[in-house]
Structure 1
Amino acid sequence: MSAASGDSNSRPIIVFDAMCVLCSANATFVLRHDRAARFRLASMQGDVGAALYRQFGIDPANPETLIVVDGNKALRDSDAVLAIWAGLDRPWNALAAFRIIPRWLRDPVYRWIARHRYRLFGRRSTCWLPTAEQAGRIL
């Protein structure tokens, strides 16, 4: 499988900004609360993550969304966050109930936070690195 092939037989891949404090904290949260290992993660700064962003028309140098790649499709913005929440262990998967809020209301809030993520939460001086136990789920 090439980095951007989106193999439909594989687990979904969350592509995130490893320089963003909020995004890195979210990656750590997913790894901790996805004990079934439903998700794999790739940073946009790495080869796999950057290739997946480009495959779905997102500039890896200036993304304003994380994506969840599942097969040949990518969820973005609030839909990606909801898909992540739905795949987590209980009780966190209950957060997916926010799907009841229409996308036209959810996405502007998501995009505002994404655009201002460094100012609101900070930027790491180096990319986030997983622990030895988490490394097998990082692409």
Structure 2
Amino acid sequence: MTKWPDDDVILYDGVCVFCSRWIRFVATRDTERRFRFTAIQSPYGTRLAQAFGIDSNDPDTNAVVHGGVVYFKSDAALTVLSVLPGWGWVRVLFAVPKPLRDAVYSLVARNRYRIFGKYEECFVPDAEVRARVME
């Protein structure tokens, strides 16, 4: 597991419609405003991606830094969900073998633009979420 100094940061694909909806989903439910967000296309997001070994031109995962540890793919999604109020029950999904969880994650990730679409430019969040964006 990679260490990173900033905590509770979600790295996402800013041109991916599905990924941007994920950020809105998290921001809406994150009543403690714990998580901050950075698009992989931003200068900070590109630095994170490079540090974590993610191809910023063709990202195949989101990532989250939580507790100083970087999580990828299904671990990232489940880690974020498990911290949100009312979503702690998703921790049981960690019992599903990681290779199986990541295979499903990768299938969606590979087809996300075809299924959900792609923005021409990076998704611009509303003012409340924008205050939590790291550029």
TM-score (norm 1): 0.88
Instruction: Select 1:65's aligned residue among 54, 61, 68.
Output: 61
1:97, distance to aligned residue in structure 2 (A): 2.2
TM-score, scaled relative to structure 2? 0.90
1:98 pairs, out of 93, 96, 99, with 93
Give the one of 40, 47, 50 matched to 1:44.
Answer: 40
Q: Percent identity?
A: 36
Q: Aligned residue pairs: how many?
A: 132
How far apart, CA to CA, are the structure 2 residues paired with 1:102 and 1:53?
A: 25
RMSD: 1.6
**Which of 81, 85, 99 is residue 85 of structure 1 equivalent to?**
81
Matched position secondary structure for 1:134: helix
- Unpaired segments of 5 or more residues in structure 1? none
Structure 2 gap ranges (5+)? none
Partner of 1:74: 70
Contact 1:66 1:77 in 2 (8 A): yes
Instruction: Write the distance in 1 (CA, Å) between the matches of 2:129 and 2:109.
Output: 25
**Which residue identity lines up with residue 76 of structure 1 in the other structure?**
F
CA contact (8 A) 1:11 1:38 kept: no
